[in-house]
Structure 1
């Protein structure tokens, strides 16, 4: 966020107020969050001193202040340093101007004794087009994409206006206000006028696509910290206070995804792969391409940018609801425990040894209060940093072949799309790992995988819950059972964790099916998949990639039989030919 951006400050402040109202988060942790955010937003860079001011009239070369570029679109020295004079306070140099598309004429002062024009920074309260359908958020996100591709080292992108007084012949002066301006902050000495000009041309073309011609672009140097998009968390263990609610915002597999323009269509990210230093994700095409758009091949083009977001709006609302539900449950639990503590304390004081033992155990459980505070803080963070859908963009589609049924010669359904992921979101990347989650205890998990007491178990439950496939099960082996159920029927058990249904173990059946067909193991655990699980990865107990979930048969909200496409065929025959050098296994996190 740039200095003095009042509208952005008020927006964030309103977000905090809404969090406090909706969640009733009246706690010290919440107050501390508000205080820290307020301090961060109100912090601004100090102005330049008078000695720097006087250096402006020294000889015009690189030794005066910092370098002023001499490229064809470079700004004259006095304009670079004095165009924004006054923004940071009276008699203070403003940020250094790099380039601007505005047509107003800057008249440089003749010397340090002449009064300088004072510039005022204004918010944008309304705009006929940018204010409709959250368009500015879309433009801002695509602008950042343009700058990143052109390797502009930006620090902020804001929507602002400027106001100043111009001289008139009668000496009274008049007030002038600039057009709405996309104000871009860049690191000092990192961007030339020519580089800014080139990226401005792309941004103006972006605006033109939306029939916008009354917005300027300007670049200034900035070292202020801006509010960055949130970063996905690392998976957590069973002892972490957020273990029940954090899954959807970690880098483990089965992230819930949707298209930026199709937020009502929810699916799951299946698996990752790398080509060089680029990170990609694989999902089912039908998650991101509505049927009404046609079944045509898609290859990434700037004119048809297709962003992918973490969680559609419904999924995000469900996450907030689940956090509040956990807080409510823990509040009730703590209330009961505190009553027990009071009762056991009386007994212990009377010499009752059993009461004393119960008191020690119960007092430890009252520590759940700390978990409540962590959950409250997490709720505030989600509402503040993740509610804006553009903050949840994790990448864009680069390739999606048409959906084809019973693809010759293997008779598999081809329902796949590849997403180039934003590595900045995946700083806590752990590779292709499935978080087995806290819902099922490890012992029960293992017994579900091998229900017969005489079964030879080759399933090793990971200590950190992160289950990492290390090989691909051949299509031929999928139809070969490797176990028996309780009735002695031949089966192959599988694991899946999708957006809608958590890890559930099922029999891999229908060995004469042309698809990878998954049948329910018993009637008590519910369906293997529901709507929203499309794109999930199906894996085996011996750390094998097995299939990508593509659909099922049965009721509209669940599936009696779930179908997937063989990973062997999908990886070797579909993805690798299109992405030479693709790597599925990760020895180390991202560089």
Structure 2
């Protein structure tokens, strides 16, 4: 796994799926077609672990709802976890090929502009055109070479991702826990990270790579829906958004009922973001709505759990999350304007 590279590096988008930031596509080695997203990292002396949701690694249609706990002396096979599933890997290669094709279109257009400049009667206009186009043409050519290198990098990672893998250490049964009037679904799993996958120099910890797909001004503006009430959000200089702490249910309720940020209708709002395997980077408002979900477990009566709802940012925005953003129900890859100011 790689350390996220600077935005000026042409292979920044290709490296992202293999970097140590959050939003990594993962899957059970036995079911590479069933994918999800990593959760958050945590450490125990000498070991690094990853938190995710149970159904990413133990699909309810294929696995019994039983406790899994690995012990080295137990003789039981260890459940291997892959960095990329089949779909995520193919999507990565497809994205690189698409990027390469797009750059070639730009190069062809730049060459036509240079040919047109050679035929201009106004020499001053021709020189200005060349001064503008030539640096951009060079950048596009460099980007093509980098994309080809990225494709080779992705293929190499595809070949090694099965041999360089992590393994599930602990996974409790899926259940609904009731505390007072609140019922929460318990569906988590712990993965031990293979030490050969990562080193202390490339590990960046619990950060969200904001990437390069959403411009800085657009993302920052999206984090405060009321222009007269600027956000506490500051775009990080290295685009790696650090966060810490977990928001428990009662604190999450407090954030949605008494936030300092206001939307265009002067209603209280808390903006959050996630980086999921399927949806990628998305932004949306956290609110007081709780989704009551009926959970069914084999051999037991159905139970009701309450889940936090995050809406689309606007009526024209894409959904905040989709299937495959599995860890996001834990809020592990979410950040809001208030968490930095509170010690959770």
Task: State the partner residue of 1:486.
Answer: 264
Q: Secondary structure at the match of 1:304?
A: coil
Q: How far did 1:353 drift?
A: 1.8
Return the alpha-carbon distance in structure 2 between the equivalents of residues 473 and 289 of structure 1: 26
Q: How does 1:130-209 map to 2 (within 5 A)?
A: none
1:88-110 deviations in whole A, cap 9, x for unaligned? xxxxxxxxxxxxxxxxxxxxxxx
Q: Secondary structure at the match of 1:478?
A: helix
Task: State the partner residue of 2:190.
Answer: 418
In the superposition, the TM-score normalised over structure 2's length comes to 0.85
Q: Secondary structure at the match of 2:162?
A: helix
Task: State the partner residue of 1:254.
Answer: 23
Q: How far did 1:343 drift?
A: 1.6
Return the alpha-carbon distance in structure 1 between the equivalents of residues 290 and 55 of structure 2: 26
**2:32 is aligned with 1:237:** no
Q: How far did 1:523 drift?
A: 2.2
Q: How does 1:316-395 map to 2 (within 5 A)?
A: 316-347=89-120, 350-367=121-138, 368-387=140-159, 389-391=161-163, 393-395=164-166
Q: How far did 1:503 drift?
A: 1.6
In the superposition, the TM-score normalised over structure 1's length comes to 0.51
In the alignment, is the contact (CA less than 8 A) between 2:167 and 2:191 conserved in 1? Answer: yes
Q: Secondary structure at the match of 1:496?
A: strand
Give the aligned length: 313
**2:249 is aligned with 1:475:** yes
Q: Secondary structure at the match of 2:190?
A: strand
In the alignment, is the contact (CA less than 8 A) between 2:93 and 2:151 conserved in 1? Answer: yes
Pick which of 377-386 and 413-422 moved more.
377-386
In the alignment, is the contact (CA less than 8 A) between 1:469 and 1:543 conserved in 2? Answer: no
Task: State the partner residue of 2:299.
Answer: none
Task: State the partner residue of 1:449.
Answer: 223
Instruction: Pick one of 58, 61, 84 that aligns with 1:289.
Output: 58
In the alignment, is the contact (CA less than 8 A) between 1:282 and 1:417 conserved in 2? Answer: yes
**Cα distance change of structure 1 residues 531 and 447 upon mapping to structure 2, 3 Å threshold:** same
Return the alpha-carbon distance in structure 2 between the equivalents of residues 345 and 394 of structure 1: 56
1:248-296 deviations in whole A, cap 9, x for unaligned? 1111101000000011210000110111121000100100002131110
Q: How far did 1:234 drift?
A: 1.2
Q: Secondary structure at the match of 1:370?
A: helix
Return the alpha-carbon distance in structure 1 between the equivalents of residues 264 and 31 of structure 2: 44
**Cα distance change of structure 1 residues 388 and 276 upon mapping to structure 2, 3 Å threshold:** closer
Return the alpha-carbon distance in structure 1 between the equivalents of residues 21 and 128 of structure 2: 40
Larger radius of gyration: 1
1:441-499 deviations in whole A, cap 9, x for unaligned? 11111110002111132111101100000343343231233222222222211010000
Task: State the partner residue of 2:298.
Answer: none
Q: How far did 1:510 drift?
A: 2.7
**2:237 is aligned with 1:463:** yes
**Cα distance change of structure 1 residues 317 and 543 upon mapping to structure 2, 3 Å threshold:** farther
Q: Secondary structure at the match of 1:384?
A: helix
Q: How far did 1:512 drift?
A: 5.6
Task: State the partner residue of 2:307.
Answer: 515
Task: State the partner residue of 1:535.
Answer: 327
In the alignment, is the contact (CA less than 8 A) between 2:23 and 2:333 conserved in 1? Answer: no
Q: How far did 1:543 drift?
A: 7.1
Structure 1 portions without partners, runs of 5+: 1-231, 546-567, 569-591
**Cα distance change of structure 1 residues 543 and 299 upon mapping to structure 2, 3 Å threshold:** farther
Q: How far did 1:332 drift?
A: 1.1
Q: Secondary structure at the match of 2:33?
A: strand
Q: Secondary structure at the match of 1:524?
A: coil
**Cα distance change of structure 1 residues 268 and 529 upon mapping to structure 2, 3 Å threshold:** same
Q: Secondary structure at the match of 2:35?
A: strand
Task: State the partner residue of 2:295.
Answer: none
Q: How far did 1:540 drift?
A: 2.4
Task: State the partner residue of 2:68.
Answer: 298
Instruction: Pick one of 317, 331, 338 that aligns with 1:525.
Output: 317
**2:335 is aligned with 1:544:** no
